[in-house]
């Protein structure tokens, strides 16, 4: 019986041989540039990392926001960004 060390995301058993191969690869070192290229995630929205802000919305305002976003086929976050942008340009 082969010893396993759990399973990969696809259900494949992680064997002693796979662990050895991964250890050998780690000892050789990793190409950090290549790893960073593979990174997923959200694309940048501006010139720097975006921040997440929190606001309190009363139930009626939240309902109206959800309805407007659905009507325009955009996310709630995008609706908020557009509203803030219009507010700032209006002043």
Task: Please report the pLDDT score of residue 68 as a whole number.
Answer: 95
Residue 47 forms part of a structural domain? no
pTM above 0.85, yes or no: no
The total number of structural domains in the chain stands at 2
Residue 48 forms part of a structural domain? no
Domain that holds residue 85: 53-91
Residue 23 forms part of a structural domain? yes
Residue 14 forms part of a structural domain? yes
- Residue 90: is its pLDDT beyond 90? yes
Residue 20 forms part of a structural domain? yes
Task: Please report the pLDDT score of residue 38 as a whole number.
Answer: 65
The answer on 91 and 57 residing in a single domain is yes
- Residue 41: is its pLDDT beyond 80? no
Task: Please report the pLDDT score of residue 11 as a whole number.
Answer: 87
Residue 44 forms part of a structural domain? no
Helix, strand, coil: what percent of the chain each, to 5? 55, 10, 40
Residue 42 forms part of a structural domain? no
Share of the chain above pLDDT 90, in %: 44
Span 13-17, mean pLDDT?
90
């Amino acid at each position: 019986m082969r010893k396993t060390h759990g399973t990969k995301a696809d259900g494949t058993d992680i064997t002693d041989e796979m662990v050895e191969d991964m250890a050998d690869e780690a000892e050789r070192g990793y190409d950090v540039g290549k790893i960073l290229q593979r990174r997923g995630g959200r694309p940048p929205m501006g010139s720097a990392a975006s921040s997440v802000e929190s606001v309190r919305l009363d139930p009626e305002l939240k309902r109206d926001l959800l309805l407007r976003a659905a009507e325009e086929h955009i996310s709630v976050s995008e609706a908020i960004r557009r509203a803030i942008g219009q507010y700032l340009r209006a002043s």
